[in-house]
Amino acid sequence: MSAMRQQRAKLFESILRFLECCLVLSLVSDSIGGCAGIAIPVNRVKKATPKVQCPHYRSKLACGCSGFSRPNNDDTFSNGVIQSDMPGHIETDDDGTEYLVIDDMMFPRSPISQSSSQADQVIADPNNPNYKLDLKFWPGGIIFYNIDPAFSLDYSNEILNAMQKIEENVGKNHLEFKKAKTSSGAICRKGYLFVKRASKRQCRAQVGMSVKHTYVWLHPDACPFGTIQHEILHALGRYHEQCRPDRDKYVTLLPQNMAAYECANYYITMDGPDPSLKLTYDSASIMHYGSCHFSCNGAYTMIKKSDGSKIEPNRQSMTKLDVDKMRALYPKEFKVPYSESMCAEDGVVEKRGKKTFGQSCRILIIISICLTWMWSSAFV
């Protein structure tokens, strides 16, 4: 048995020495780059991959766009209605209204019935910057609003703060926000701004005032403070900055990097008189896209023409040019002072004709008490 154990011990020792030898050989071969006849793995230099300029891009969409000048004729905007030959796609809202959709800009396609109310009149003087409501600037610079009660109190306050910030920046002598309904329930303007809770994670707005309703759709999880301002400015008549007719003088589009389905977002869609076009282009505007917007492959979709640099998206605050352009759209000389009489036509007057029997009795009792007091005082 002892001889058997000695043989096993020698065999085990031989195995250990063999493994030690293999280890030494592997270390030596790594240091000298390997030996002939032995396949030793070496660290190969990986091929350089193209630098991804945009970390978040739409890789599942096809690439390529063309034809970014305005492809439609002068009849695109006809009586306040956008025709079907505009780029974009058609969607129907919950209330059955059809909209032409260009990114977050919504244009109602149903005819707009004009109201006889003074507050809803379309300005017909071509010398007035508010003329021709293709961009529907708000008459008198007063934006009446209502906020969807479906929003939480915190988010409703965020919307109010965004309105207040716009008002502070532009100045109340140019525009101001007022509640669309008074405490008595009177409606100040039929075409008021209604900030509606979006059913999907979307941030959208109609461009300019509409006589029926002017919608801004917001989702609390998708639309932070700066984006709220962006959408409200759409409702006040501002297009995206890169939609300006002079866009190509200031930025270079890279259509090969754009998602094909989003091409309409880069068409020049501005139409009608717009005093803000007299001011210079602003790539830092809160209304401008960034270089990575709608990228299909991680490369830039748009760069500055001056030096080829990246355009950083601004969804924080209005620039000085943003403020100046809003002042151009809403000049001081056309600002109308707010008064409660603006809210009397559709609300208070209507309510006066609907007094109940109990209300009439109370009024008669008050009058009787007053007459009795006056009669008794006369004989004191």
Q: Which residues contact 81 (CB under 8 A, 6 or more apart)?
A: 108, 109, 110, 111, 112
Please list the alpha-helical segments (H only) found in the chain: 2-32, 153-170, 225-235, 320-329, 349-352, 357-378
C-alpha–C-alpha distance, residues 118 and 342, integer Å: 9
What does the block give as tokens for 213?
């309703």
Helix (H, G, I), strand (E, B) or coil at 254: coil
- Check the annotation: does 213 bind a ligand: no
CB 262 within 8 A of CB 21: no
Q: Is 231 a known active-site residue? A: yes
Q: Which residues contact 223 (CB under 8 A, 6 or more apart)?
A: 203, 231
For the chain, report the end-to-end CA distance as a whole number of angstroms: 143
Q: What is the maximal distance between C-alpha atoms in the chain? A: 147
- Spatial CB neighbours of 269, under 8 Å, sequence gap ≥ 6: 70, 86, 87, 102, 105, 239, 243
Task: Quickly tell me which residue has 């979006």 as its tokens.
Answer: 198
Residue from 249, 326, 257, 318 nearest 291 by CA: 257
The residue behind tokens 């780059």 is 33
Q: Is 234 known as a binding-site position?
A: yes
272, 76 Cβ separation under 8 angstroms:
no
Is residue 293 part of an annotated ligand binding site? no
For residues 103 and 239, the answer to whether their CB atoms sit within 8 Å is no
Is the torsion defined by CA of 182, 184, 189, 192 positive or negative?
A: positive
Catalytic residue among 13, 158, 231, 345: 231
Q: How far is CA 288 from CA 238, 268, 296, 324, in A?
A: 11, 13, 19, 15
Cα 72 → chain centroid:
24
Question: How many other CB atoms are there within 10 angstroms of residue 144's CB atom?
Answer: 25
Backbone phi, then psi, for 374, in 5-degree steps? Answer: -65, -40
Q: Give binding residues as ranges.
A: 230, 234, 240
Active-site residues, by number, are 231
Q: Give binding residues for Zn(2+) as ranges.
A: 230, 234, 240
